Amino acid sequence: MKLVECVPNFSEGRDLEKIKAITKEIESVPQVTLLDVDPGESTNRTVVTFIGTPEGVKEAAFRAIKKAAEVLDMSKHQGAHSRIGATDVCPFVPVSGVTMENCIQIAHDVAKRVAEELEIPVYLYEEAAQKPVRKNLANIRVGEYEGLAERLKDPEWAPDYGKPIFNSKTGATNIGAREFLIAYNINLNTRDRSLARHIAFNLREKGKAKRDKEGKIMRDKNGKSIKIPGKFKAVKAVGWFIEDYNIAQISINFTNYKISPPHLVFDEAIKEAEAIGIRVTGSELVGLIPKEAMLMAGMHYLKKQGKSPGVPEEELIDIAVKSLGLEDVSPFDEKKKIIEYQFKEVEDPLIDKNLRQFVNELSMDSPAPGGGSTAALCGALSSALTSMVSNLTVGKKEYETVQKKVVELAVAAQDLKDVFLRAVDLDTVAFNKVMDTFRMRKKTEEQKKERDVAIQEATKEATLVPLDVLEKSIKALELAKDIAIHGNKNSISDAGVAGLTAQTAAEGAYYNVIINLPDIQEIKFTTEIKAKAEALKSEAIKISDEIRKIVEEELQ
């Protein structure tokens, strides 16, 4: 699932009607979920957070910037926070299935549209910056809105998009791309803030001031304090005392959790605390966290326990919560804390039904869910069985030489299982879209043309979903073959069923590709897809036959 977060800041924190007008624009866009609206009266600024598909987020961001330009007037704005425009900043953040490069491109696309359609000068910052000096937002904001008119006259500060013309009503807008910011606190069994600060300074990238034997801060020839670097890059940390909990905490901001993940900093905090005679009791997540960060933590702690990390994501998250002590001071609800879980790709998903409900739904007279969803489910069952056999091989002495291999198989199978489960719903959604296009109006010639185009596009999508299942089925078959060769021989029959269900997934998906092709008018598309599907089907049968031979020889 491709998800992008957007966190625009608007220069209005007091007039709730104006704020609502802006956020309504965001909520009006399909495939976008508004997560949070945080107005600040003293700063006269509102921070809005929403997530969605890349295209949805692009559209929602533009609409919000446009509405802010309509309802806000910077010439009358006053507030404590630095700002240069009605929409002061608009960063795009990769959440899942997208890269930083994707978000940089989104920033460019939105900036171009804002400049051309709204005539607002745009500066690109952070990862989207076109000049090193513009990476730091503070450099762009020098002089703020009040100094913007003069700054735009300086060729060095011409906007990245738009004309260097001062717009008194809207000011300028900063659009960028950055990594996800995780706000996280580590709890200590002390009320002494100085001890928390001691650990924080050792952990954070900035480190601490170097001191001489008398405890005085050492400085360089320019009078600046000499720093001892901390242990973790992309980590900001301070120590403080929290009255509500009556404890000291290490308060941390992770500016790039992929460089320094929370679980490694947590483990190091435990060592630092023990060295000065105190103890870490747990931790607290402030706001949201990407699912990837939780899965990384779960895998990390399972590996430390000598167990296979190839388990379902729910189990990995549970291990992460327990290991990080995330319920030390308050309950941790993963449905509210993990950002991906805030976005519903499908309403009332099939995979959330119990087994009887799903089979009952399948048995009814509606055409969806049907064979395509069932093929995807077979792929998920195959992957689950491969993971099971892999995990039943982990830790067994007679399979010592293949431990690394089977752990890798378990992890890969779990990932593939989730891809197939998502496809169970995507296949049904794609089919329903086709049905919806046939219900479109066709009274006028224009309506007929629109309907025909929509039918063709929807039918292509309904073809590509099972094609992807067919492609992934090859991977499922390869994993099943590997575990049949290397896995626990007491579970060879399970490896065999993994092969059979993967073959069913492949051939079932193939049928669902082929049945759609006659309805697609684009010859190039149908020719290429058919050739690809035929080749994949042949490959699936070949690997399936190899698995059957391995299993049946072992069963003799």
Residues 6+ away with beta carbon under 8 Å from 20: none
Sheet harboring 280-286: ordered strands across? Answer: 235-242, 247-254, 182-188, 280-286
Q: What is the pTM of this model?
A: 0.89
Query: pLDDT grade, residue 390 (50/70/90)?
Result: very high
- Tell me what pLDDT residue 167 has: 93
Query: pLDDT grade, residue 494 (50/70/90)?
Result: very high
Residue 57 pLDDT more than 90?
yes
Residue 224 pLDDT more than 90?
no
The torsion defined by the Cα of 118, 123, 127 and 129, in degrees rounded to 10, comes to 130
**How far is the CA of 193 from the CAs of 197, 199, 238, 271, in angstroms?**
6, 10, 9, 18
For 52, the token pair is 């969605």
Please give the average per-residue pLDDT across 247-269, as a whole number. 97
Residue among 15, 77, 81, 452 flagged as catalytic:
81
- Tell me what pLDDT residue 212 has: 81
The number of angstroms, rounded, from the C-alpha of 140 to the middle of its chain's C-alpha atoms is 28
Question: Tens of pLDDT along 309-362?
Answer: 999 999 999 999 999 999 999 999 999 999 999 998 888 899 999 999 999 999
Query: pLDDT grade, residue 364 (50/70/90)?
Result: very high
**In the chain, what percentage of residues exceed pLDDT 90?**
93
Question: Tens of pLDDT along 115-165?
Answer: 999 999 999 999 999 999 999 999 999 999 999 999 999 999 999 999 999
Residues 6+ away with beta carbon under 8 Å from 396: 488
- Per CATH, the architecture of 182-342 is what? 2-Layer Sandwich (3.30)
Q: Where in the chain are the domains?
A: 3-177, 182-342, 350-555
For 505, the token pair is 């997934």
Lowest mean pLDDT among 104-113, 220-229, 314-323, 440-449: 220-229
- How many Å is the Cα radius of gyration of the chain? 28
- For this structure, is 81 an active site residue? yes
DSSP 147-162: GHHHHTTSGGG--SBS
Contact 169, 75 (CB under 8 A): yes
State the maximum Cα–Cα separation within the chain, in Å, rounded to a whole number.
Answer: 89
In 3-state terms the chain splits into helix, strand, coil percentages (rounded to 5) of: 55, 15, 30
Mean pLDDT of all residues belonging to the chain: 96
For 321, the token pair is 């919560």
Residue 300 pLDDT more than 90?
yes
**In the chain, what percentage of residues exceed pLDDT 70?**
100
- Tell me what pLDDT residue 366 has: 87
- Map tokens 């390869």 to a residue: 478
Question: Tens of pLDDT along 260-298?
Answer: 999 999 999 999 999 999 999 999 999 999 999 999 999
Question: Tens of pLDDT along 413-427?
Answer: 999 999 999 999 999
Assigned superfamily of 3-177: Formiminotransferase, N-terminal subdomain (3.30.990.10)
Query: pLDDT grade, residue 368 (50/70/90)?
Result: confident
Check residue 82 and report its DSSP letter. -
Assign a CATH topology to domain 350-555. Answer: Four Helix Bundle (Hemerythrin (Met), subunit A) (1.20.120)
HEC string for 350-371:
HHHCCHHHHHHHHHCCCCCCCH
- Tell me what pLDDT residue 217 has: 87
- Tell me what pLDDT residue 265 has: 98
Judged by DSSP in three states, 519 sits in helix
- Tell me what pLDDT residue 221 has: 82
Residue among 160, 427, 482, 494 flagged as catalytic:
427
Please give the average per-residue pLDDT across 221-247, as a whole number. 92
For 342, the token pair is 């805030």
Query: pLDDT grade, residue 1 (50/70/90)?
Result: confident
- Tell me what pLDDT residue 216 has: 86
Residue 80 pLDDT more than 90?
no
Query: What is the rounded distance in angstroms from the CA atom of residue 68 to the CA atom of residue 146?
Result: 19
The total number of residues shown for the chain amounts to 556
Query: What is the rounded distance in angstroms from the CA atom of residue 272 to the CA atom of residue 264?
Result: 12
Query: What is the rounded distance in angstroms from the CA atom of residue 427 to the CA atom of residue 115?
Result: 39
Query: What is the rounded distance in angstroms from the CA atom of residue 305 to the CA atom of residue 308?
Result: 9
The yes-or-no answer to whether 3-177 and 350-555 have a common fold is no
- For this structure, is 427 an active site residue? yes
Q: What are phi and psi of 120, to 5 degrees?
A: -110, 125
Residue 225 pLDDT more than 90?
no
Query: What is the rounded distance in angstroms from the CA atom of residue 157 to the CA atom of residue 170?
Result: 17
Please give the average per-residue pLDDT across 186-196, as a whole number. 97
Q: What are phi and psi of 234, to 5 degrees?
A: 60, 30
